[in-house]
């Protein structure tokens, strides 16, 4: 892989910064080896090790946000992200956390968009226990559309019990509802839409892209794949999934991302594209050119 890696410039479109103080307090465990902290120094070391030119940096998700401390931490993580990206300007670029019911957060994000200090917004429905539908007609999406700021949506599997008990869904199917309601916005669905059966529909939408982040989890975490999975790809390896989607002509709709530190191996996440049996132009698109175009970096 080293030879291919040297030949291809890369942008990591999905990497996290900060620390999460809530997994243990809320007894949430996705898988045993999950890390819950990552510093800017660790990010730069990873990028240098794997010759990754740039990265889109996202705050850690902060689950539940059930009290004042949670709310404070959410705002703190956005500030931390901005400071890290300012320290490594032209290497790290901020995609800030978005809470559709938090007035302070909304006002802050609108200001950051207008001042040109943010390149994306991240909405994590499970972290804040709010479904995608809360984004419908939200003022931040209108401003994001005006300034061509992508909305990054964490895509769930549909297995999330706390949502299922309330008759709610945070799988790709529900995310598509939001993107269809806001056709002037650009959306990036994470984790290859958790391989949902609606993934092909999402990729055919003019305003939707998907990232490859955390595909290393597919083989070790039963909760990764959507409960309503796309039968043609669910049993493929991550590399074969990339090849399948490129064969369908979707190389211009895919962005490479790691989801570090939640992924199991940065090298493996990168290898799924580098080692794929696809043409060199498609690799450049997925690893670099699509992210450069969509984020303007």
pLDDT tens digits, 197-227: 999 999 999 999 999 999 999 988 888 999 9
- Using a pLDDT cut of 70, give the percent of the chain over it: 89
* Residue-averaged pLDDT of the chain: 91
Per-residue confidence band for 35, with pLDDT thresholds at 50, 70 and 90: confident
Higher confidence at residue 37 or residue 281?
281
pLDDT tens digits, 243-284: 999 999 999 999 999 999 989 999 999 999 999 999 999 999
Q: Can you say how many angstroms the Cα of residue 95 is from the centroid of all Cα atoms in its chain? A: 10
CATH class entry, domain 2-295: alpha beta
What mean pLDDT comes out for the span 117-140?
93
Per-residue confidence band for 63, with pLDDT thresholds at 50, 70 and 90: low
How many other C-beta atoms can be found within 10 angstroms of the C-beta atom of residue 124? Answer: 23
Contacts of 45 (CB under 8 A, 6+ apart): none
Three-state SS string over the chain comes to CHHHHHHCCEEEEEEEEEECCCCCCCCCCCCCCCCCEECHHHHHHHHHHCCEEEEEEEECCCCCCCCHHHHHHHHHHHHHHHHHHHHCCCCEEEEEECCCCCHHHHHHHHHHHHCCCCCEEEECHHHHCCCHHHHCCCHHHHHHHHCCCCEEECCCCCCCHHHHCCCCCCCHHHHHHHHHHCCCCCEEECHHHHHECCHHHHHHCCCEEEECCCHHHHHCCCCCCCCCECCCCCCCCHHHHHHHHHHCCCHHHEECCCCECCCCCHHHHHHHHHCCCCCHHHHHHHHHHHHHHHHCC
**Is the pLDDT reported for residue 4 higher than 70?**
no
pLDDT at residue 96, as a whole number? 97
Per-residue confidence band for 139, with pLDDT thresholds at 50, 70 and 90: very high
What mean pLDDT comes out for the span 137-152?
96
pLDDT tens digits, 92-108: 999 999 999 989 999 99
Per-residue confidence band for 52, with pLDDT thresholds at 50, 70 and 90: very high
Question: Where do we find the tokens 């003019």?
Answer: 206
C-alpha–C-alpha distance, residues 1 and 14, integer Å = 21
Which residues share a beta bridge with 123? 153
Q: Cβ-count burial of 219 within 10 angstroms (0-12 exposed, 13-18 middle, 19+ buried)?
A: exposed
What mean pLDDT comes out for the span 109-124?
97
**Is the pLDDT reported for residue 81 higher than 80?**
yes
Half-sphere exposure in the Cβ direction for 26 (13 Å, CA): 19
What mean pLDDT comes out for the span 144-168?
94
**Is the pLDDT reported for residue 163 higher than 70?**
yes
What mean pLDDT comes out for the span 54-67?
76
Per-residue confidence band for 8, with pLDDT thresholds at 50, 70 and 90: confident
């Amino acid at each position: 892989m080293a030879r291919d890696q040297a030949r291809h410039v890369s942008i990591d479109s999905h990497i996290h910064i900060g620390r999460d103080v809530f997994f243990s307090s809320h007894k949430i465990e996705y898988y045993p080896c999950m890390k819950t902290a990552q510093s800017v120094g660790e990010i730069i070391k990873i990028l240098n090790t794997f010759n990754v030119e740039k990265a889109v940096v996202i705050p850690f998700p902060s689950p539940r946000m059930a009290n004042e401390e949670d709310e404070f931490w959410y705002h703190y993580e956005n500030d931390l992200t901005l400071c890290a990206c300012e320290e490594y300007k032209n290497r790290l670029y901020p995609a800030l956390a978005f809470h559709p019911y938090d007035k302070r957060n909304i006002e802050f994000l609108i200001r950051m968009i207008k001042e040109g200090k943010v390149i994306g917004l991240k909405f994590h429905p499970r972290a804040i226990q709010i479904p995608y539908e809360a984004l419908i007609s939200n003022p931040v999406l209108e401003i994001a559309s005006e300034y061509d700021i992508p909305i990054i949506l964490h895509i769930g599997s549909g297995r999330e019990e706390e949502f299922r008990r309330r008759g709610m869904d945070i799988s790709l199917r529900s995310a598509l509802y939001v993107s269809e309601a806001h056709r002037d916005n650009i959306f990036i669905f994470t984790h290859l839409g958790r391989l949902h059966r609606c993934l092909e529909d999402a990729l055919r939408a003019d305003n939707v892209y998907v990232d490859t982040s955390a595909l290393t989890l597919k083989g070790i975490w039963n909760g990764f794949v959507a409960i309503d999975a796309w039968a043609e790809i669910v049993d493929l390896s991550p590399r074969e999934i990339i090849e399948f989607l490129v064969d369908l002509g979707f190389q211009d709709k895919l962005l490479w991302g790691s989801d570090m530190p939640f992924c199991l191996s940065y090298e493996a996440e990168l290898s799924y594209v580098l080692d794929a049996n696809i043409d060199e132009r498609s690799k450049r698109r997925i690893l670099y050119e699509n992210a450069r175009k969509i984020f303007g970096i």
